[in-house]
């Protein structure tokens, strides 16, 4: 652990980094982007890291999808879970103080301040840039009470290199190899790194965007044709030219009657390829970051489909997969890169309590609760521990006040739920006869089941000269 609280980089290193944070894209083309992506594959992160930051700043569709992915992780609940032992409770108390008093900022923008939520948000940048790194500056508040926390500074990916299979911090801007990011001094994590495939998509999106803008500038308002009887350079010709320049956009033609012009009409002018190409890249952004196609184009009317034909239920299921995965991903890195070093520093033991990020309940929670309400009266037995786990309810402590059923009297009986109504004399007598099982006829055995026999004669039926219902069932009628 970096118990001194001194940063690996001084103010001069930060100022130089800000001065050199230029736009590395003077001319955007696929060859230049491919060369820097290849450099990333061999561990050179300086140029490509700046390139990705600029792409994220200039493409609003890309930035919004990345922000939504990070925002979902930042909005998740978290808790410290001990193993149930006394030592585990001590570890949980130390970790709880550490995370509750954590300060998170950015190395190049130290006005940013936050806690665990900001930490999770910054960690999610690994899903864009493949790497995320925080410098850990330990802060000891009360050594006797083991109250220790830290300041975490999110550092740009272009401060590092990965030529040896792990991140190395570049102390100087022209270094080739950096210092290894040791556990306890750095919180490093590896994510999906979607900017690697999306870099080419960004370039290919800008080509049709520029062509689309050029097309609108030239053909958006149409061409103007002016015809005059004057000769070129005559005063009447100049007056017509000046008037044409005043009202025309980019396409204007001035000629005399002896010249005939024919404007070629584009047969596919109502089916231009610019918008489909741009929309295709926007959908790719949404699919990569969100797992679903939530771009605006997914709600537009397509050929053979009505408006809004996208399956919303499938989209929700795919989004839920990403949320659960991100929660487990962040939990794993925090347990390994923060929980273990802190507990070892304080107790010199392996941790017996852990930080856990919990994703939101899925959409089936309401259905599960309704199913339990219906099936439990039918005899289904559900463990209380399973119910608390499913709905993420905290198990009450012994003697802790808990919710109770309502105690208002009911309209029909005048009693409160949970209270039974006093039985009447008739109900008491009926219950006593039922319990004693008194025989209903002479010769009947006490305790035996009393049933009617179809062999017994029925005087009323015989007087009517037809068989009884029991005989009819036997086929004797």
Question: pLDDT tens across 112-155, in order?
Answer: 999 999 999 999 999 999 999 999 999 999 989 999 999 999 99
Q: Helix-strand-coil percent breakdown of the chain, rounded to 5?
A: 45, 15, 40
Please provide residue 189's backbone torsions phi and psi, each rounded to the nearest 5 degrees: -150, 155
pLDDT digits (tens, 9 = 90+) for 16-25: 778 777 666 6
**How many C-beta atoms surround the C-beta of residue 174 within 10 A?**
6
Give yes or no for residue 158 having a pLDDT over 70: yes
Joined together, the tokens standing for residue 477 give 């009628």
pLDDT at 389: 74
Summary mean pLDDT of the chain: 78
**pLDDT digit string (tens) for 462-471?**
554 444 555 5
Least confident stretch, 46-50, 105-109, 209-213: 209-213
pLDDT at 193 over 90: yes
Structure tokens at 271: 């089916």
Say how far residue 63 (Cα) sits from the centre of its chain: 15
Environment class of 433 (CB within 10 Å of its CB; exposed 0-12, middle 13-18, buried 19+): exposed
133 phi, psi to nearest 5 deg: -140, 130
Query: In this predicted structure, what is the pLDDT of residue 357?
Result: 95
Query: Strand runs (DSSP E) across 46-177, as ranges?
Result: 77-82, 103-106, 109-114, 131-142, 147-155, 160-161, 168-169
pTM above 0.85?
Answer: no
Cα–Cα distance for residue pair 95/147, rounded to 1 Å: 9
Q: What is the per-residue pLDDT across 321-352, written as a single tens digit (0 to 9) for each?
A: 788 899 999 999 999 999 999 999 999 999 99
Q: Which two tokens stand for residue 173?
A: 């801007």
Give the pLDDT of residue 263. 57
Contact 33, 51 (CB under 8 A): yes
Please determine, for residue 28, whether its predicted confidence score (pLDDT) is greater than 70: yes
> Within the chain, what is the greatest distance between any pair of CA atoms?
139
Mean pLDDT within 212-223: 71
Question: What integer pLDDT is reported at residue 433 of this predicted model?
Answer: 52
Tell me the pLDDT band of 476, cut-offs 50, 70 and 90: low
How high is the pLDDT of residue 35? 92
The domains of the chain are located at 1-210+273-360, 453-477
Q: How many CB atoms lie within 10 A of CB 149?
A: 18
Residue by residue, DSSP assigns 189-207 as EE---THHHHHHHHHHHHH
Q: Going by C-beta distance under 8 Å and a sequence separation of 6 or more, which residues neighbour residue 345?
A: 1, 3, 138, 148, 184
Residue 54 has pLDDT above 70, yes or no: yes
Which pLDDT tens digit goes with each residue over 369-416? 788 888 788 888 888 777 777 776 777 778 778 777 766 655 555 555
Using DSSP, state whether 138 is helix, strand or coil: strand
Burial status of residue 288 (CB atoms within 10 A of its CB: 0-12, 13-18, 19 or more): buried
Least confident piece of the model among 35-49, 83-97, 255-269: 255-269
Q: What percent of the chain has pLDDT over 90?
A: 40
Q: Where are the alpha helices (DSSP H) in 335-364?
A: 340-347
Residue 182 CA to chain centroid, in angstroms?
Answer: 30
Region 306-327: mean pLDDT is: 62
Q: Which one has a higher pLDDT value, 11 or 37?
A: 37
Question: What whole-number distance in Å separates Cα of residue 20 and Cα of residue 24?
Answer: 10
Q: What pLDDT, in 10s, does the model give residues 163-172? A: 999 999 998 8
pLDDT for the residue numbered 445 = 57
Q: Is a pLDDT exceeding 70 seen at residue 225?
A: no
Q: Does residue 135 contact residue 10 with C-beta atoms inside 8 Å?
A: no
Ramachandran sector of residue 155 (left: φ over 0; alpha: ψ -120 to 50; beta: rest): beta
Of the chain, the end-to-end C-alpha distance in Å amounts to 99
Q: Taking each helix axis from N to C terminus, what angle separates 195-219 and 274-290, rounded to the nearest 10 degrees?
A: 150
Give the helix ranges, DSSP H, for 348-444.
365-375, 384-391, 425-436
426 falls in which pLDDT band (50, 70, 90)?
Answer: low
pLDDT band at 212 (very low <50, low <70, confident <90, very high): confident
Q: How many CB atoms lie within 10 A of CB 440?
A: 7
Cβ neighbours, 10 Å, residue 232: 11
Higher pLDDT, 447 or 140: 140
Q: Are 161 and 168 in contact (CB under 8 A)?
A: yes
Cα distances (Å, whole numbers) of residue 28 to 199, 217, 293, 362: 11, 22, 27, 43
Q: Is the pLDDT of residue 289 over 50?
A: yes
Phi-psi region of 437 (alpha: psi -120 to 50; beta: other; left: phi over 0): left
Which H helix or E strand runs over 256?
strand 252-256
**No. of helices (H) and no. of strands (E), the chain:** 17, 12
pLDDT at 91: 96
Examine the pLDDT at 63 and tell me if it is beyond 80.
yes
Residue 332: per-residue pLDDT = 95
Q: What is the structure's pLDDT at 89?
A: 94
pLDDT at 373 (0 to 100): 81
Phi, psi (5° rounding) for residue 153? Answer: -110, 115
Identify the burial level of 37 via C-beta atoms within 10 angstroms of its C-beta, where 0-12 means exposed, 13-18 middle and 19 or more buried. Answer: middle
């Amino acid at each position: 652990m970096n118990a001194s609280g001194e940063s690996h980089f001084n103010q001069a290193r930060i100022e130089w980094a800000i001065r050199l944070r230029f736009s590395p894209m003077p001319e955007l083309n696929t060859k230049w982007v491919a060369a820097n992506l290849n450099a990333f594959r061999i561990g050179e992160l300086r140029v490509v890291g700046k390139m990705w930051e600029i792409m994220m700043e200039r493409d609003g569709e890309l930035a919004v999808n990345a922000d939504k992915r990070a925002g979902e992780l930042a909005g998740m609940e978290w808790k410290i879970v001990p193993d149930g032992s006394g030592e585990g409770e001590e570890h949980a108390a130390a970790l709880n103080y550490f995370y509750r008093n954590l300060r998170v900022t950015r190395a190049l923008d130290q006005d940013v301040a936050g806690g665990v939520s900001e930490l999770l948000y910054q960690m999610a940048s690994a899903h864009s840039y493949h790497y995320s790194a925080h410098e850990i500056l330990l802060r000891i508040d009360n050594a006797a009470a083991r109250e220790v926390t830290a300041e975490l500074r999110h550092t740009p990916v272009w401060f590092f290199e990965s030529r040896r299979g792990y991140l190395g911090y570049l102390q100087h801007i022209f270094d080739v190899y950096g210092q290894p990011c040791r556990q306890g001094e750095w919180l490093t994590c590896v994510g999906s790194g979607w900017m690697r495939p999306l870099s080419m998509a960004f370039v290919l999106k800008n080509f049709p965007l520029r062509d689309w803008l050029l097309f609108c500038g030239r053909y958006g308002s149409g061409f103007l044709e002016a015809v005059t009887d004057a000769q070129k350079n005559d005063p009447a010709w100049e007056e017509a030219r000046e008037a044409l320049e005043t009202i025309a956009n980019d396409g204007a033609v001035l000629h005399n009657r002896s010249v005939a012009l024919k404007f070629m009409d584009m047969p596919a002018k109502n089916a231009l390829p610019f918008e489909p190409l741009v929309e295709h890249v926007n959908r790719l952004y949404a699919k990569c970051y969100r797992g679903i196609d939530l771009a605006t184009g997914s709600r537009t009317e397509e050929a053979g489909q009505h408006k809004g034909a996208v399956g919303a239920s499938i989209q929700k299921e795919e989004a839920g997969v990403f949320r659960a995965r991100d929660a487990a991903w962040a939990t794993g890195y925090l347990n390994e890169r923060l929980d273990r070093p802190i507990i070892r520093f304080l107790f010199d033991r392996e941790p017996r309590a852990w930080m856990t990020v919990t994703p939101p309940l899925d959409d089936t929670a309401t259905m599960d609760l309704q199913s339990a309400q219906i099936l439990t009266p039918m005899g289904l037995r559900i463990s209380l521990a399973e119910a608390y786990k499913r709905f993420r309810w905290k198990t009450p402590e012994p003697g802790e006040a808990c919710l109770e059923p309502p105690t208002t009297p009911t309209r029909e009986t005048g009693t409160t739920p949970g209270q039974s109504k006093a039985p009447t004399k008739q109900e008491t007598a009926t219950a006593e006869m039922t319990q004693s099982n008194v025989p209903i006829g002479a010769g009947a055995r006490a305790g035996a089941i009393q049933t009617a026999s179809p062999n017994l004669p029925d005087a009323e039926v015989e007087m009517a000269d037809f068989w009884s219902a029991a005989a009819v069932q036997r086929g004797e009628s």
